[in-house]
């Protein structure tokens, strides 16, 4: 075995690729291809989970290049944000030092892996030349009414000491530090993503290349719900009390009303009554509990009577108003009509507080359900379809029909309106932390909120801050010479907005900056971006389904409306990859769980690292890193190298004629073309593991063929007939040549080395990936050796995967086989599909 000097070879080609600028992006592109992996939070070392993400994009880049595309494959750093800041606080240095040294380490790792990035377009969000455009965009959003400030209950993370967007609260916990998120009333900046709710929903139907599960998650997150608002009336004041319901067919069954503890009206409804204090205490107590917990379907419901009543506009009934913990302040109007007979939460609440239950939908009487519902004996709400009852002029209507009829009636009488509600809320974008983009707004006591003039951008994040640790209010408010400024409008004393932006703002448009990374007039020039967009393949984690992957679609649509982009969606094909686990735990830089790219590559080489993460599982599935994960692929690379060293002179690149007669040469030719087809098909469908498996099988074919061609092998195992002689090495040399191309997307270093060893001086990536010979692929035959008592006696050329009984028949009928079985008892026939027949005989007694 020739030893593969992997370190020397890989380093040599990496250097050569960089010098030659092999991965530089051509402008303007002829046939464009834009492949992108989500950029990285540089929060420490890089593990094999990262390697997997980037290898996937790298394979696709190389494959498309070898199909003649002009490709863009950039990379950058999501460099602002809490993890960097928290880590820096822990290590006692500045977030910038920590972030930039982390970036250097990660960049070195990516280069060690041989990932094909165009580093001329590197983007770092913590650099002023990037974040100034966050500020520019913020102001544009403000001018369009898409950025606004309001006081509202916000998600507050006591651990991170900052507010969070809804998208950053996972099951009631902070997505970063897993603290219980609280509600606090604060004045914050929001982006009006709700104005785009319908378009974000409709756009999903135009994305056949997105995984269904991601689209479903986004649809649920946006949560469109059709129903109506009905104006109940406060019994004493006559004030309107609008509620949102999807079930107007149950309006005659309302027996109480409920307000969310954080609804506007909840604060004032009991004012001046003897219940005021009790109600206030209740609200305060309930708001301390996580929203997720108190609004869960299951679990005890809690409420308090406000002392007030509302009048049902249809029936004139007076019903009590409660504040109830299960009502969401941020959905619909924050107030509900409750129908205990037909809504389970209302039912439980009514039982607990002894509120009457009134049935207004009866199930169709059937032999299974002969009895009408009786509130006294009900043990749960009846939530299925039925016939309206106790509902005056609507009695007898199927309830689904009744929904439309009741809405029609309400609209006609001016008592309600049809509405569509979305669960999606406006995006809270201000943060009270230090390490982020300063919000480019000035607060003037005279002029109000004034944007920083464009010529004064960027508003630089002050570098020398004595104490940037979070203390529950904005860190930058404590930086005197930053905070105090003058108003651009009136010139008077004013203050800067001390908050920084959510880093998801940074990541909402970075993919656009790559198309024009050095522009100092605009975030990007529209014609440049439009050349490359949409992103053809976008690769990243499923955890971004309802965060980043909605936000960047929102930004894209806004920029489309600003006439800066011609497309309406940022990306056509999305790939969410599974996570890499080590001993049952997800690899994680911050938790120091992982196989580290730098260490691994130094020991095994980049090509082994790439194959190890690509071969273990399809990209969308998770994988477990095992000690032997790299062993098989390492052996594959070593065997390839040896085979080529042994046969370097044989390698040819000019097409050979298809061998016309059955035999090993023809077989090899067929296998070659099958392999080319398989690899190409699998690359199209992102099945890298099976493509690599096909290459491994093909290596077996080549090795077997090579072993038959040695003089020794020919002597020991003479061809059974002159027609089947494997003498020609023409096909073999050609197959080796073709294999170099097929390896290039997966093991670029080895492929480049072999390409140059066989007399080339350009890069293999500048070549076209060969196509297969369709005639050879159809012509799918195998040659099967037939042994009698373990000795080769003949070969059968048959259709691949021929059923066993037929093979048996053919083998036993073969004239050469019969010479050895004549007068013998056939004891058994062993058949290894497509590989071998062995006939075991014994002398007749």
Interface with ligand ANZ (CB under 6 A): 225, 244-247, 250, 260, 327-328, 331-332, 334, 336-337, 339, 342-343, 421
* Relative orientation angle of helices 606-615 and 597-604, to the nearest 10 degrees: 110
Asked if 72 and 515 touch (Cβ cutoff 8 Å), the reply is yes
Question: Which of the choices ligand ANZ, Zn ion, none does residue 260 contact, using the CB cut-off of 5 to 8 A by kind?
Answer: ligand ANZ
Question: Which of the choices ligand ANZ, Zn ion, none does residue 180 contact, using the CB cut-off of 5 to 8 A by kind?
Answer: none
Number of residues that bind Zn ion (CB under 5 A): 7
Minimal distance, residue 215 CB to ligand ANZ, in Å: 19
Q: In this structure, is the dihedral angle defined by the CA atoms of residues 368, 370, 372 and 377, taken in order, positive or negative?
A: negative
Specify the residue, 42 or 334, whose C-beta has the smaller distance to ligand ANZ: 334
Question: Which of the choices Zn ion, ligand ANZ, none does residue 96 contact, using the CB cut-off of 5 to 8 A by kind?
Answer: none
CA distance linking residue 95 with residue 93, whole number of Å: 7
Specify the residue, 339 or 782, whose C-beta has the smaller distance to ligand ANZ: 339
> Which backbone phi and psi does 746 adopt, to 5 degrees?
-95, -50
CA distance linking residue 204 with residue 377, whole number of Å: 46
Minimal distance, residue 332 CB to ligand ANZ, in Å: 3
| 3-state SS, residue 393 | helix
Question: Which of the choices ligand ANZ, Zn ion, none does residue 246 contact, using the CB cut-off of 5 to 8 A by kind?
Answer: ligand ANZ
If you ran DSSP here, which 8-state letter would residue 77 be given? E
With CB under 5 A as the contact rule, the residue among 79, 147, 174, 233 that binds Zn ion is: 174
Minimal distance, residue 180 CB to ligand ANZ, in Å: 21
Binding mask 530-549 for Zn ion (x = CB under 5 A): --------------------
Question: Which of the choices Zn ion, ligand ANZ, none does residue 573 contact, using the CB cut-off of 5 to 8 A by kind?
Answer: none
Strand partners, 240: 233
Question: Which of the choices Zn ion, ligand ANZ, none does residue 337 contact, using the CB cut-off of 5 to 8 A by kind?
Answer: ligand ANZ
* Relative orientation angle of helices 6-20 and 95-112, to the nearest 10 degrees: 110
Other C-beta atoms lying within 10 Å of the C-beta of residue 440: 25
Question: Which of the choices ligand ANZ, Zn ion, none does residue 328 contact, using the CB cut-off of 5 to 8 A by kind?
Answer: ligand ANZ
Residue 344, CA distances (Å) to 130, 296, 478, 579, 748 in order: 51, 12, 50, 38, 60
| Paired sense of beta strands 836-843 and 824-832, if any | antiparallel
Question: Which of the choices ligand ANZ, Zn ion, none does residue 177 contact, using the CB cut-off of 5 to 8 A by kind?
Answer: Zn ion
Minimal distance, residue 344 CB to ligand ANZ, in Å: 9
Place of tokens 């983007």: 123
Within 78-180, strands assigned E span 123-124, 147-157, 162-164, 169-170, 173-174
Q: Does 160 bind Zn ion (CB under 5 A)?
A: yes
Question: Which of the choices Zn ion, ligand ANZ, none does residue 64 contact, using the CB cut-off of 5 to 8 A by kind?
Answer: none
Asked if 507 and 513 touch (Cβ cutoff 8 Å), the reply is no
Minimal distance, residue 427 CB to ligand ANZ, in Å: 19
Question: Which of the choices Zn ion, ligand ANZ, none does residue 245 contact, using the CB cut-off of 5 to 8 A by kind?
Answer: ligand ANZ
Within 374-440, strands assigned E span 387-388, 416-422, 427-428, 430-431
Binding mask 139-158 for Zn ion (x = CB under 5 A): ------------------x-
Minimal distance, residue 343 CB to ligand ANZ, in Å: 4
Select from 349, 358, 343, 257 the least CA-distant residue to 306.
257
Q: Does 173 bind Zn ion (CB under 5 A)?
A: no
Question: Which of the choices Zn ion, ligand ANZ, none does residue 695 contact, using the CB cut-off of 5 to 8 A by kind?
Answer: none
CA distance linking residue 430 with residue 453, whole number of Å: 20
Question: Which of the choices Zn ion, ligand ANZ, none does residue 176 contact, using the CB cut-off of 5 to 8 A by kind?
Answer: Zn ion
Specify the residue, 394 or 669, whose C-beta has the smaller distance to ligand ANZ: 394
Specify the residue, 55 or 188, whose C-beta has the smaller distance to Zn ion: 188
With CB under 5 A as the contact rule, the residue among 89, 96, 105, 177 that binds Zn ion is: 177
Minimal distance, residue 244 CB to ligand ANZ, in Å: 5
For Zn ion, the binding residues in 753-772 under the rule CB under 5 A are: none
Asked if 498 and 474 touch (Cβ cutoff 8 Å), the reply is yes
Place of tokens 């994960």: 629
Specify the residue, 160 or 796, whose C-beta has the smaller distance to Zn ion: 160
Minimal distance, residue 242 CB to ligand ANZ, in Å: 11
Minimal distance, residue 377 CB to ligand ANZ, in Å: 19
| 3-state SS, residue 582 | strand
Minimal distance, residue 86 CB to ligand ANZ, in Å: 34
Name residues whose C-beta falls within 8 Å of residue 24's C-beta, 6 or more positions apart in sequence. Answer: 118, 120
**Ramachandran area for residue 657 (φ above 0: left; ψ -120 to 50: alpha; else beta):** beta
Specify the residue, 260 or 512, whose C-beta has the smaller distance to ligand ANZ: 260
Specify the residue, 169 or 637, whose C-beta has the smaller distance to Zn ion: 169
Specify the residue, 83 or 605, whose C-beta has the smaller distance to Zn ion: 83
With CB under 5 A as the contact rule, the residue among 52, 94, 176, 301 that binds Zn ion is: 176
Question: Which of the choices Zn ion, ligand ANZ, none does residue 332 contact, using the CB cut-off of 5 to 8 A by kind?
Answer: ligand ANZ
CA distance linking residue 514 with residue 528, whole number of Å: 10
Minimal distance, residue 340 CB to ligand ANZ, in Å: 9
Q: In this structure, is the dihedral angle defined by the CA atoms of residues 81, 85, 88 and 90, taken in order, positive or negative?
A: negative
**Element at 842 (helix H, strand E):** strand 836-843
Name residues whose C-beta falls within 8 Å of residue 499's C-beta, 6 or more positions apart in sequence. Answer: 188, 189, 430, 431, 432, 439, 474, 476
Question: Which of the choices ligand ANZ, Zn ion, none does residue 247 contact, using the CB cut-off of 5 to 8 A by kind?
Answer: ligand ANZ
Specify the residue, 206 or 246, whose C-beta has the smaller distance to ligand ANZ: 246
| Paired sense of beta strands 441-444 and 70-72, if any | unpaired
Place of tokens 């002159």: 722
Select from 678, 681, 680, 660 the least CA-distant residue to 669.
660
Question: Which of the choices Zn ion, ligand ANZ, none does residue 101 contact, using the CB cut-off of 5 to 8 A by kind?
Answer: none
**Ramachandran area for residue 612 (φ above 0: left; ψ -120 to 50: alpha; else beta):** alpha
Specify the residue, 50 or 247, whose C-beta has the smaller distance to ligand ANZ: 247
Minimal distance, residue 177 CB to Zn ion, in Å: 4
| 3-state SS, residue 658 | coil
- CB under 5 A: which stretch of 178-186, 188-196, 764-772, 808-816 binds Zn ion? 178-186
Other C-beta atoms lying within 10 Å of the C-beta of residue 774: 10
CA distance linking residue 548 with residue 756, whole number of Å: 43
- CB under 5 A: which stretch of 169-177, 215-223, 475-483, 676-684 binds Zn ion? 169-177
If you ran DSSP here, which 8-state letter would residue 27 be given? S
With CB under 5 A as the contact rule, the residue among 159, 209, 375, 578 that binds Zn ion is: 159
Q: Does 169 bind Zn ion (CB under 5 A)?
A: no
Minimal distance, residue 50 CB to ligand ANZ, in Å: 38
Specify the residue, 73 or 247, whose C-beta has the smaller distance to ligand ANZ: 247
Specify the residue, 379 or 722, whose C-beta has the smaller distance to ligand ANZ: 379
Specify the residue, 174 or 439, whose C-beta has the smaller distance to Zn ion: 174
Specify the residue, 332 or 664, whose C-beta has the smaller distance to ligand ANZ: 332
| Paired sense of beta strands 416-422 and 224-234, if any | antiparallel
Question: Which of the choices Zn ion, ligand ANZ, none does residue 250 contact, using the CB cut-off of 5 to 8 A by kind?
Answer: ligand ANZ
Binding site for Zn ion (CB under 5 A): 157, 159-160, 174, 176-177, 179
């Amino acid at each position: 075995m020739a030893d593969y000097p992997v370190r020397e070879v890989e380093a040599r080609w990496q250097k050569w690729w960089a010098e030659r600028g092999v991965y530089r992006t051509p402008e303007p592109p002829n046939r464009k291809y834009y492949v992108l992996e989500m950029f990285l939070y540089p929060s420490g070392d890089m593990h094999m989970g990262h390697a997997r993400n980037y290898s996937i994009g790298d394979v696709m880049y190389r494959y498309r290049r070898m199909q003649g595309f002009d490709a863009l494959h950039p990379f950058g750093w999501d460099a602002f944000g809490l993890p960097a800041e928290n880590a820096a606080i822990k290590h006692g240095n500045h977030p910038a030092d920590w972030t930039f040294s982390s970036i250097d380490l990660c960049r070195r790792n990516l280069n060690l892996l041989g990932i094909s990035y165009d580093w001329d377009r590197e983007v770092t969000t913590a650099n002023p030349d990037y974040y100034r455009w966050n500020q520019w965009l913020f102001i544009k959003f403000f001018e369009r009414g898409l950025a606004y400030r309001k006081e509202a209950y916000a998600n507050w993370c006591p651990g991170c000491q900052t507010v969070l967007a809804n998208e950053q609260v996972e099951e009631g916990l902070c997505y970063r530090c897993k603290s219980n998120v609280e509600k606090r009333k604060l004045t914050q900046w929001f982006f009006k993503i709700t104005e785009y709710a319908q378009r974000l929903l409709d756009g999903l139907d135009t994305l056949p290349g997105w995984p269904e599960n991601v689209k479903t998650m986004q649809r649920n997150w946006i949560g469109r719900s059709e129903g109506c608002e009905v104006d109940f009336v406060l019994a004493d004041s006559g004030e309107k009390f609008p509620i949102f319901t999807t079930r107007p067919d149950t309006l005659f069954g309302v027996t109480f009303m409920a307000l969310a503890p954080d609804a506007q009206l909840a604060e004032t409804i009991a004012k001046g009554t003897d219940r005021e204090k009790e109600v206030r205490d209740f609200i305060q107590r309930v708001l301390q509990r996580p929203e997720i917990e108190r609004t869960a379907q299951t679990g005890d419901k809690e409420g308090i009577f406000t002392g007030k009543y509302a009048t049902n506009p249809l029936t004139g009934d007076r019903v009590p108003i409660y504040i109830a913990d299960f009502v969401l302040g941020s959905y619909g109007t924050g107030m509900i009509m409750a129908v205990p007979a037909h809504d389970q939460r209302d039912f439980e609440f009514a039982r607990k507080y002894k509120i009457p239950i009134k049935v207004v939908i009866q199930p169709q009487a059937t032999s299974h359900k002969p009895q009408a519902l009786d509130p006294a004996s009900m043990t749960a709400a009846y939530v299925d379809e039925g016939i309206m009852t106790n509902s005056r002029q609507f009695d007898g209507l199927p309830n689904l029909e009744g929904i439309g009829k009741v809405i029609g009636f309400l609209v006609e009488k001016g008592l309600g309106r049809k509405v569509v509600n979305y669960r999606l809320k406006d995006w809270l974008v201000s943060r009270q932390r230090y390490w982020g983009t300063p919000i480019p707004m000035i607060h003037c006591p005279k002029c109000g909120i004034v944007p920083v003039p464009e010529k004064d951008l960027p508003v630089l994040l002050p570098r020398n801050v004595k104490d940037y640790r979070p203390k529950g209010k904005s860190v930058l408010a404590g930086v005197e010479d930053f905070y105090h400024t003058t108003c651009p409008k009136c010139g008077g004393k004013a203050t800067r907005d001390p908050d920084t932006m959510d880093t998801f703002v940074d990541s909402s448009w970075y993919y656009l900056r790559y198309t024009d990374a050095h522009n100092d007039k605009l975030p990007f020039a529209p014609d440049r971006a439009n050349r490359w967009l949409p992103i053809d393949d976008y690769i990243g984690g499923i955890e971004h389904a309802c965060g980043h992957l909605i936000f960047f679609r929102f930004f894209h649509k806004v920029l489309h409306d600003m006439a800066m982009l011609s497309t309406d969606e940022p990306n056509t094909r999305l790939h969410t990859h599974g996570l890499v686990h080590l001993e049952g735990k997800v690899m994680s830089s911050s938790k120091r769980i992982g196989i580290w790219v730098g260490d691994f590559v130094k020991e095994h080489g980049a090509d082994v690292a790439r194959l190890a993460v690509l071969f273990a599982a399809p990209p969308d599935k998770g994988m477990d890193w095992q000690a032997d994960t790299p062993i098989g692929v390492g052996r594959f690379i070593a065997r390839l190298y040896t085979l080529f060293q042994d046969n370097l002179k044989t390698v040819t690149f000019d097409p050979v004629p298809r061998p016309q007669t059955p035999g090993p040469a023809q077989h090899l030719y067929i296998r070659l073309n099958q392999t080319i087809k398989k690899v190409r098909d699998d690359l199209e469908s992102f099945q890298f593991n099976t493509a690599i498996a096909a290459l491994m099988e093909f290596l077996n074919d080549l090795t077997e063929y090579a072993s038959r061609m040695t003089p020794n092998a020919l002597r020991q195992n003479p061809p059974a007939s002159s027609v089947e002689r494997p003498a020609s090495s023409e096909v073999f040399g050609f197959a080796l040549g073709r294999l170099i191309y097929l390896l290039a997307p997966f093991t670029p270093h080895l492929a480049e080395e072999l390409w140059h060893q066989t007399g080339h001086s350009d890069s293999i990536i500048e070549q076209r990936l060969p196509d297969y010979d369709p005639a050879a692929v159809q012509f799918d035959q195998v040659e099967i050796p037939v042994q009698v008592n373990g000795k080769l006696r003949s070969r059968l050329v048959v259709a691949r995967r021929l059923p066993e009984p037929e093979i048996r028949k053919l083998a036993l009928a073969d004239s050469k086989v019969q010479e050895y079985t004549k007068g013998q008892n056939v004891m058994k026939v062993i058949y290894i599909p497509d590989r071998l027949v062995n006939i075991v005989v014994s002398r007749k007694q």
